[in-house]
Amino acid sequence: MKATLAPSSLTFLPQSNPTCSFRSSPPSLGSLRPSSASMTTATARGSVAVTAAATSLRQGIAEFYNETSALWEEIWGDHMHHGFYDPNSPLQLSDSGHREAQIRMIEESLLFAGVTTEEQRIKRVVDVGCGIGGSSRYLASKFGAECIGITLSPLQAKRANDLAAAQSLSHQVSFQVADALEQPFEDGKFDLVWSMESGEHMPDKAKFVKELVRVAAPGGRIIIVTWCHRNLSQGEEALQPWEQNLLDRICKTFYLPAWCSTSDYVNLLQSLSLQDIKCADWSENVAPFWPAVIRTALTWKGLLSLLRSGMKSIKGALTMPLMIEGYKKGVIKFGIITCRKPL
Ligand code: SAH
């Protein structure tokens, strides 16, 4: 798909200008971690609490997606991520229009990262936080590549494998339950490391990024598309209490730990000496997405499916307006961060 829209104006190349357009000071790696799940706790008692918090988060994420994925697939198909839209275009999109927008999100992300079919042969892809494998199957078909997807949800892994079999892609694509923070892969295995809307679930962003870098092949690309909070201003230590409160309410329902900003991700990648680091704020491009999801939830079919699906889905639906509020008030940013591992 040809992109018709340049990524929005927050694009920059931090390698050549380390301060870029960020106004926040670089965080220490530790400061990216949620206080409740900090991995740097010194005492033994503290580290037991950390492990327990991380385990309970992992379990919560697995249960959330076990319960909600079938509903999402029934109504929205196999891509569990935002669509990419032209801001200011007329918005009476049909269902297929939203699906195209979700595929466009994949294409725009590849384009932004400079991954083209001609540029470099992509032979192996890892889809970190794969959902039911929509991106994996798409990327495997596009590049003729092998793709492995990992998720915390056993139901998602099974459904993703079943869909791959139904599409005669089992020889190329496979899915398993594994933790993104401890990936079961050798170093340097993948030409493309893909994380589409899974980073927000990671309790230790530094460890997450390190794992993405570890499994990337020399010269390989890493693409992180994720929910972030706004960049902090110079001198600002934290979000405003009302902003934090809004995010906390979203965290509870969607099983998210503390959020970070796109500039936090860039700083992490810089600290690991990655190349071609780029990021952009695509919040405007995804603005129509949540209103559209809410509209489908409010149809008879949507309401019945929600009731059948269970409490986690219902709570999720009730939290959607907070996402819209977060974007509108500029607290939530939809970020893309990409880079290349040095040869
Ligand atoms: N990337 C997919 C799904 C996004 S939903 C898509 O675009 O369709 C978020 C996904 O992240 C879920 O599959 C969830 O299981 C996964 N996830 C969250 N935390 C994870 C972790 N620590 N390890 C592996 N997968 C994780």
Q: Is the distance from CB of 201 to CB of 226 less than 8 angstroms?
A: no
With a 6 Å cutoff on the Cβ, whether 67 touches ligand 1 is no
Nearest CA, atom 13, ligand 1: 131
Q: Are the beta carbons of 237 and 265 closer than 8 angstroms?
A: no
CA atoms lying within 13 Å on the CB side of residue 187: 4
The pLDDT of 41-50, averaged and rounded, is: 66
For 96-124, write each residue's pLDDT tens digit: 788 899 999 999 999 999 998 776 689 99
pLDDT (0 to 100) of residue 93: 64
Nearest-angstrom CA–CA distance, 276 and 291: 34
- Got the DSSP string for 157-222? HHHHHHHHHHTT-TTTEEEEE--TTS-SS-TT-EEEEEEES-GGG-S-HHHHHHHHHHHEEEEEEE
Q: Whose CA is nearest to atom 11 of ligand 1?
A: 129
Which band of pLDDT confidence, cut at 50, 70 and 90, is reported for residue 226? very high
Mean pLDDT, residues 27-49 taken together: 49
Listed residue (11, 29, 30, 31) closest to 21, CA to CA: 11
**Burial bucket for residue 220 (CB in 10 Å: 0-12, 13-18, 19+):** buried
Got the DSSP string for 216-253? EEEEEEEEEEEEEEPPPPTT--S--HHHHHHHHHHHHH
Give the atom of ligand 1 at the shortest distance from the alpha carbon of 181. Answer: 22
163 lines ligand 1 (CB under 6 A): no
Does the beta carbon of 196 lie inside 6 Å of ligand 1?
yes
Residue 63, strand partner residues? none
Mean pLDDT of the residues in the chain? 85
pLDDT of residue 206: 97
**What are the b/e assignments for 69-92, b being 16+ CB within 10 Å?**
bbbbbebbbbbbbbbbbeeeeeee
Confidence of residue 82 (pLDDT cuts 50, 70, 90): very high
- Mean pLDDT: which of 19-33, 45-59, 85-99, 242-256 is highest? 242-256
133 lines ligand 1 (CB under 6 A): no
The pLDDT value given to residue 51: 80
Could you give the domains of the chain? 52-238+258-296+333-341 (3.40.50.150)
Q: Is 137 in the pocket of ligand 1 (CB under 6 A)?
A: no
Is the distance from the beta carbon of residue 135 to the nearest atom of ligand 1 less than 6 Å?
A: yes
Q: Is 134 in the pocket of ligand 1 (CB under 6 A)?
A: yes
Contact 220, 173 (CB under 8 A): no
Say yes or no: CB of residue 159 within 6 Å of ligand 1.
no
- Reply yes or no on whether the pLDDT at 177 is more than 70: yes
The answer, yes or no, to whether residue 12 has pLDDT greater than 60, is: no
Q: What pLDDT is stored for residue 90 in this prediction?
A: 66
Look up the pTM and report it.
Answer: 0.86
Atom number of ligand 1 nearest to Cα 180: 23
φ, ψ for residue 89, nearest 5 deg? -90, 155
